[in-house]
Structure 1
Amino acid sequence: MRMWTMRQWGVAGVGTAASLVLLGIPAVLIPNGLFSREIEPTWWSYPVWAATALLCGLLLATYAGPTPPTRRKDPTGPRGLGGGILAWLAIGCPVCNKLVLLAVGTSGALTWFAPLQPLLAVGGLILLAAALRTRLRAAASCPAPESQT
C-alpha cells in the first residue's frame, strides 16, 4: 500500500465512506427515516461497522490500480462479497431481517440468530481481511508495468 497512487487512496476513502452509508442506513447505525430497528445495536456493532467499511474501501482500492484491470478470474471476489454480507448480517437487527424471520421466526431470531451475530462479525472481518491480503500480495508479486507515455 506504500506504493499506492493518489487515485487508489481516493478510491479507498470514497469506498470507505460509501460502505459506511450502505451498511449503516439499513442497519440503522445511522439514524434515518427509511428503516427502523426493534432492538438497539450492540456495543460491538459500531467498531465492526467501521472496520468493515475500512476493509471494503481498501479492498475496492486494489481494483483501482494504476493500469486497467485484466479480465482474469479474481479468486478474492467471493471472499470479499461474503465478508461484506456476513458483516451486514452481524450489525443488523436480528428481528428486523426478513430472511432470518422467515427461516427461524421471531423467537429463533432472538434465541438462535442474535447470539451468532458476533461470530458472523468475526467471520466477515476475517474474509474481508483475507481478500485484501490476497489482493495486496498479488499486486506486490506481479507489479503493473510502468506506462510508456
Structure 2
Amino acid sequence: MDGFRKRLAKSVTAAVGSFVLFGVVTDLIPTPLYIRQVPRTELDYLFLVLTAAFLGLYVFQRTPDRRSDDGTATTGAVVGFLAFGCPICNAFLLALFSSSALMTYLDPLRPVLGVLSIALFGGLLYSRSQRACDSCADAEPTGSTSD
C-alpha cells in the first residue's frame, strides 16, 4: 500500500504543479508579472484543467520500466499548452512568427489543438490501462491450488 500512496502523491503533485505552473505562465491565474493579450475563455480554463489532470493520471500510471510513452505525453502537454496559452504572449512563437500570423492562423486553431491534446492523452491512458489489464490477465492466479 505504501507504493500506491507514493504514486498517488507524485501524481497529485504533478497535476497541481502543472496546473499552477501553466496557469501562471499563461496568465490564466492572474499575476502582476504581465497582462495576457488575448482574452481568457472558458475553453482555456477547461483545457488547462484537463491537461493538468491528464498529466497527473499519466504520472500515476507511469512505471520505470515503461517509458516508451513519454514522447506522446510530452506532445500532449505541449499541444495542450498551445491550446490554452496566449499565442502572442509566447516569446518562442513570437520569435518564429509575427503576431499577426499567430492571431490569424494559430488563434482560431486553439480549440482544435485542445481537442487534439485531450485525444492524445485519452488514447495514451487508455492504451496503457489496456496493457496493464492484459498483463494482469496473463499472470497466473495466486489463489490456492487444488492438487
**Per the shorter chain, which TM-score range?**
0.7 to 0.9
How many residues align structurally? 136
> 2:73 and 2:33 mapped to 1: Cα distance?
27
Whole-Å Cα distance in 1 between the matches of residues 113 and 79 of structure 2? 5
Kindly indicate whether the alpha-carbon contact (under 8 Å) linking 1:77 and 1:131 is maintained by their aligned counterparts in 2.
no
1:1-149 superposed matches below 5 A? 5-63=4-62, 69-70=64-65, 74-143=67-136
Please give the TM-score of this superposition, normalised by the length of structure 2: 0.81
How far off its partner does 1:26 sit? 0.7
Q: Which residue of structure 2 aligns with residue 147 of structure 1?
A: none
Using the alignment, how far apart are the partners of 1:18 and 1:125 within structure 2? 19
TM-score w.r.t. length of structure 1: 0.80
Shift of 1:35: 4.2
Deviation for aligned residue 1:9: 2.7
Residues in 2 aligned to 1:133 and 1:35: alpha-carbon distance in whole angstroms: 38
Q: Give the Cα separation in 2 of the matches to 1:19 and 1:55.
A: 10
Deviation at 1:99, TM superposition (A): 2.6
Q: Give the aligned CA root-mean-square deviation in angstroms.
A: 2.2
Measure, in 1, the Cα distance between the counterparts of 2:33 and 2:123. Answer: 33
Runs of 4+ off more than 6 Å = none
Residues 104, 14 of structure 1: CA spacing in aligned structure 2 closer, same or farther, 3 A cutoff?
same
Cα distance in 2 between the residues matched to 1:36 and 1:18:
22
Distance of aligned partners of 1:113 and 1:138 in 2 relative to their CA distance in 1, 3 Å threshold: same
Q: Retained in 2: the 8 A contact 1:24–1:49? A: yes
Percentage of matched positions with identical amino acids: 28
User: Comparing both structures, which one devotes a greater share of its residues to helix?
Assistant: 2
